[in-house]
Amino acid sequence: MNEQPKSDRPTTRRTFLRNGARIAAMTGLGALAGVVANRSTAEGWVWQIDPQKCLRCGNCATKCVLEQSAVKCVHAFAMCGYCNLCTGYFEPEPNALTTAAENQLCPTGAIQRSFIEDPYYEYKIDEQLCIGCAKCVEGCSRFGNGSLFLQIRHDRCVHCNECAIARTCPGDAFRRVPASQPYLLKTTHAH
């Protein structure tokens, strides 16, 4: 069998540019096909925060494309200790354990404290006021049992293809979850 001798002729500029343009066009088409395929499979999937990975960095309050973040603090009442000294509600060194503004940790006063029975108090999140800054989450997580945590509220989220918060999340806590199960809730108590 005769082998064809390899051409020693150097590639011309025209051939180089033509080949380059072909490769670029193929790459573009491939990327487009990938995006289309991804969109069709991503339908029915939404962004959510894994509370176990959340580092309470504050990005959720500032990086969302919405003026007021779609991320809100939620409260797992089944886990809550209903503490008198709630470290998610009070400043680290409050003047007194009262609802006075200077004692509250939340920058927008979004946590409502109400007396249940001695010495238990209930803490509810006012989502209209909550900006998702995670300050309360950090207080609760560090000194309490972590019953306060962040979640993307899907009645607010505009479902960006690339979530602006996820892009900067230092804990890589954002992930896609099925739209049929859109929340990653804390349900069990550690003890």
Site residues (vs another protein, CB under 8 A): 11, 13, 16, 52, 56-59, 61-62, 81, 83-87, 92-94, 97, 105, 107, 118-119, 133-135, 138-146, 167-170, 190-191
Burial code of 123-136, b = ≥16 C-beta within 10 A, e = fewer?
bebeeeebbbbbbb
Nearest distance in Å: CB 40, another protein? 28
Nearest distance in Å: CB 45, another protein? 23
Name the 3-class secondary structure at 120.
Answer: strand
Nearest distance in Å: CB 46, another protein? 23
DSSP assignment string, 111-149: EEEEEEETTEEEEEE-TTT-----HHHHHHHHHS---EE
Q: Which tokens in the block code for residue 4?
A: 């064809």
Our CA angle for 42, 45, 50, nearest 5°, is 130
Nearest distance in Å: CB 145, another protein? 6
Nearest distance in Å: CB 41, another protein? 26
**Cis previous bond, 10, omega within 30:** no
- Given the complex with another protein, which of 22 and 39 has the nearer CB atom? 22
- Given the complex with another protein, which of 38 and 91 has the nearer CB atom? 91
- Given the complex with another protein, which of 84 and 112 has the nearer CB atom? 84
- Given the complex with another protein, which of 40 and 161 has the nearer CB atom? 161
- Given the complex with another protein, which of 2 and 161 has the nearer CB atom? 161
Enumerate residues 6+ apart whose C-beta is below 8 A from 126: 110, 111, 112
Q: Which tokens in the block code for residue 2?
A: 């005769």
